[in-house]
Amino acid sequence: MYVLTLEKEKRIVQPNPEAMETELKVNNLNVFYGSNHAVKNVSMEIKKHAITALIGPSGCGKSTFLRSINRMNDLIPGAVCKGEILYEGINLLDASVDVVSLRKEIGMLFQKPNPFPKSIFDNVTHGLKCAGIRKKDVLENAVEESLKLAGLWDETKDRLKHSALSLSGGQQQRLCLARALAMKPKVLLLDEPTSALDPVSTAKIEELLMSLKKRITIVIVTHNMQQAARIADQTAFFYEGTLVEFGNTRDLFENPTHTRTKSYISGQFG
């Protein structure tokens, strides 16, 4: 239903996703937590400067898939990733990849807003400082630029030294977005970034993502199918660790080829 109502506004701007460059090419990705096979043989191409949505019922491996792209699964003892994720011609899962440099280039936003208990300014500059940038004017410019990109500048420009925890939940999430944008990432991974937010904050974030995709490749996990339909160019449906269906968002929502997909998007389970 909602797909149809959204049609009108979307049709004007949407290029054909299939004609776009590929940013991340995933080949036969398998992820294990000990004996738990969480992601099974997933292959897909994530397009450059497009929004790719990952949907599927809880526990189907969306977060696990997302976290293997920027190697966050390395932090979990016993987690093993096998297969290939090609980015700029290198396999991100390879042992020779420097995960610290990788994560500077592939940023991430989490489900719950998780600002550091420091000032707004220090939150935005955290990544830059860790990357060795110390010059005050460089940092100040970066803070202004990223907060503007995240649509938070007007609300915070007079209180940059205040605690980030004094912000509202929606503002906190945008601060986390600004924090990630300050690193000038090429890819942004978002794990249910709006599930803890109210509709107004959600709309703001969605709007931001739409404007950001001009320069950044975005992969977003969401439980909200309207959201996927609203913003994503391509959508992937996961079920019990496997990639069931992947294609243009409109096709997937209008003509799902698998019955599982159909029943999921029509709200019959999940």
Partner 1 sequence: MASERNELTMPSTGRAARAQHLLKGKTWSDRDLKAKIFIFSAALLIMAATVALTVFLIVKGLHSFLIDGISVIEMFVAGEWNPNANPPSFGALPLLFGSFAVTLLSVAIATPIALGTAIFMTEIAKKRGQKLMRPVMELLVGIPSVVYGFIGLTVIVPFIRDHLGGIGFGLLAAGIVLGIMILPTVTTVAADAFQSVPNHLREASLALGATRWQTIYRVVVPAALPSVLTAVILGMARAFGEALAVQMVIGNTAQIPHSLTEPAATLTTMITSSLGETTYGSLQNDALWSLGLILLAMSYLFILVIRFLSYRRRSS
Partner 2 sequence: MNAKVTDRLATLCFILCAAITAGTLFSLLGYIVFQGVSHIDWHFLTADASTFQAGGGIKNQLWNSFYMLLMTMFFSVPLGIAGGIYLAEYARPNKITAFLRSCVEVLASLPSIIVGMFGMLLFVNTFHWGYSVLSGALALTIFNLPVIIRVTEDALAAVARDQKEASFALGATHWQTIRTVLLPAAFPGLLTGIILSVGRVFGESAALLFTAGLSTPNLNFGDWNPMSPQSPINPFRSAETLSVHIWAVNTNGIIPDAKIVAAGSSAVLVIVVLLFNIIARLVGALIEKRWSGK
Ligand X SMILES: Nc1ncnc2c1ncn2[C@@H]1O[C@H](COP(=O)(O)OP(=O)(O)OP(=O)(O)O)[C@@H](O)[C@H]1O
Q: Which residues bind partner 1 (CB under 8 A)?
A: 16, 19, 21-22, 25, 48, 84, 86-92, 96-98, 100-102, 105
102 binds, among partner 1, ligand X, Mg ion, none (CB under 5 to 8 A by kind): partner 1
DSSP 167-207: S-HHHHHHHHHHHHHTT--SEEEEESTTTTS-HHHHHHHHH
CB of 233 to partner 2, least distance (A): 24
Contact positions vs ligand X (CB under 6 A)? 33, 36, 38, 56, 58-64, 76
147 versus 190: smaller Cβ distance to ligand X: 190
d(CA 205, CA 197): 10
Residues 207-238 as b or e (16 or more Cβ within 10 Å = b): ebbeebbeebbbbbbbbebebbbbbbbbbbbb
| Structure-block tokens of residue 133 | 């940038």
CB of 157 to partner 2, least distance (A): 19
80 binds, among partner 2, ligand X, partner 1, none (CB under 5 to 8 A by kind): none
103 lies in the binding site for partner 2 (CB under 8 A): yes
66 versus 244: smaller Cβ distance to partner 2: 66
Closest alpha carbon to 205 in 186, 222, 184: 222
58 binds, among Mg ion, partner 2, ligand X, none (CB under 5 to 8 A by kind): ligand X
152 lies in the binding site for partner 2 (CB under 8 A): no
19 binds, among partner 2, ligand X, partner 1, none (CB under 5 to 8 A by kind): partner 1
Residue 194: phi, psi to the nearest 5? -115, 5
Q: Which member of 77, 89, 199, 267 binds partner 2 (CB under 8 A)?
A: 77
d(CA 141, CA 19): 36
Closest alpha carbon to 127 in 71, 75, 179: 179
